[in-house]
């Protein structure tokens, strides 16, 4: 068997890494009892289906580890600080859609409420920018 070239190895490693991230996200969703403050769980799997899903996730991780080892795929470096800054900047930009000036597009907004929302958005944006 011949080795993968650089592009092939990177493409495959990237896809497997994406699946691995998905597995971590689903495992977290299934196992963690806490959720973001403005989120509620609905349409949750039965305990039996949850166990089945966790087993499938474990098998997926094993398959990814096996493929990585057999194909000698390199570990993808993660620039942690850059990732944190990028996500915070993205969230800060998205929060712009929640500013009072933007919310007015959905209908009239009470001026007192608009002031509270504006102040809250500004504080949250400032904190995100500090990350």
57-112 pLDDT, tens digit each: 999 999 999 999 999 998 778 899 999 999 999 999 999 999 999 999 999 999 99
> Which pTM does this prediction carry?
0.69
Q: How many Å apart are CA 98 and CA 106, to the nearest integer?
A: 11
9-13, 31-35, 77-81, 105-109: segment of lowest average pLDDT: 31-35
The more confidently predicted of residues 23 and 41 is: 23
For residues 118-127, give the mean pLDDT.
96
Burial of 53 from C-beta contacts in 10 A (0-12 / 13-18 / 19+): middle
Q: How confident is residue 15, by pLDDT bands cut at 50, 70 and 90?
A: very high
Q: What is the DSSP letter of 33?
A: S
Query: By C-alpha distance, which of 20, 6, 19, 22 is closest to 72?
Result: 6
Could you give the percent of the chain with pLDDT greater than 90? 76
Q: What is the mean pLDDT of the chain?
A: 91
Residue 1 has pLDDT above 70, yes or no: no
Residue 108, helix vs strand vs coil: coil
The per-residue pLDDT for 106 is 94
Sequence-ordered list of residues with C-beta below 8 angstroms from that of 68, at least 6 positions apart, any chain: 13, 16
From the centroid of its chain, how far is CA 99?
A: 23
The per-residue pLDDT for 2 is 65
């Amino acid at each position: 068997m011949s080795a993968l070239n650089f592009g092939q190895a990177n493409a495959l490693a990237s896809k497997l890494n994406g699946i691995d991230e998905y597995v971590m996200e689903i495992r977290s969703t299934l196992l963690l009892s806490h959720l973001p403050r403005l989120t509620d769980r609905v349409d949750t799997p039965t305990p039996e289906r949850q166990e089945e899903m966790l087993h499938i996730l474990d098998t997926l991780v094993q398959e990814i580890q096996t493929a990585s080892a057999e194909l000698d795929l390199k570990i993808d470096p993660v620039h942690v600080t850059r990732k944190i800054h990028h996500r915070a900047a993205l969230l800060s930009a998205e929060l712009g859609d929640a500013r009072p000036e933007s919310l007015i597009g959905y209908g009239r907004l009470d001026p007192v409420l608009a002031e509270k929302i504006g102040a809250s958005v500004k504080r949250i944006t400032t904190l995100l920018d500090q990350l």
